[in-house]
Amino acid sequence: MTGRVRVVVEADIRPTEDEEKVIQAIKNFFDPDTVSIEGDPGYTRRIVAVSYTLASLEKLRRILRVQRILDAARKAMKKGRSSDRLVFMLHKQAMSVGRASFVGGENESPLGAITVVIEHPEPDRVIDWLAPPTVRGRPVFELDRPPE
């Protein structure tokens, strides 16, 4: 099925943080088409990274398998699912070192969380591609390609 696909990854940059390190934390799991920074220097600013393809999340998909956290990822994604979107948060410091850690809110990550919003007409298929169901820690199935 074809439809609109958009992935938006956002994170605050606190005045004490290095902007490049926050951008790198995002790029450790996401290949955006565009990256913009909103706000004025000296204040909390916001990075907004956008892609129009699910393939931009291949790194995250791989990290979830390497770390063997498919069940936790699937649970976090299902919790933030609606009819045409997924919303979940990742721990900013963990992502800065290439590790995925899901958080339930901004307060669970001392410097704020990285928010991922995936807009897709079939969010359940996106979840199945990123974090399929498992039995004894092994995926029941694998989708070779991201849903279109």
> What is the rounded CA–CA span in Å between residue 17 and residue 10?
15
Whether the per-residue pLDDT at 97 is higher than 70: the answer is: yes
Q: Which of 10-19, 22-31, 116-125, 134-143 has the lowest mean pLDDT?
A: 134-143
Q: Do residues 136 and 119 touch, judged by C-beta distance below 8 A?
A: no
Torsional sign, CA 110, 111, 112, 113 = negative
Highest mean pLDDT among 38-47, 61-70, 103-112: 61-70
Q: Which of 16-20, 71-75, 109-113 has the lowest mean pLDDT?
A: 109-113
Whether the per-residue pLDDT at 70 is higher than 50: the answer is: yes
Domain range summary for the chain, segments of one domain joined by +: 6-139
pTM for this entry: 0.92
Which residues are CB-contacts of 16 (< 8 A; sequence separation ≥ 6)?
A: none
Whether the per-residue pLDDT at 79 is higher than 50: the answer is: yes
Q: Which fold has domain 6-139?
A: 50s Ribosomal Protein L5; Chain: A, (3.30.1440)
Neighbours of 137 (CB within 10 A): 9
> What is the rounded CA–CA span in Å between residue 31 and residue 49?
9
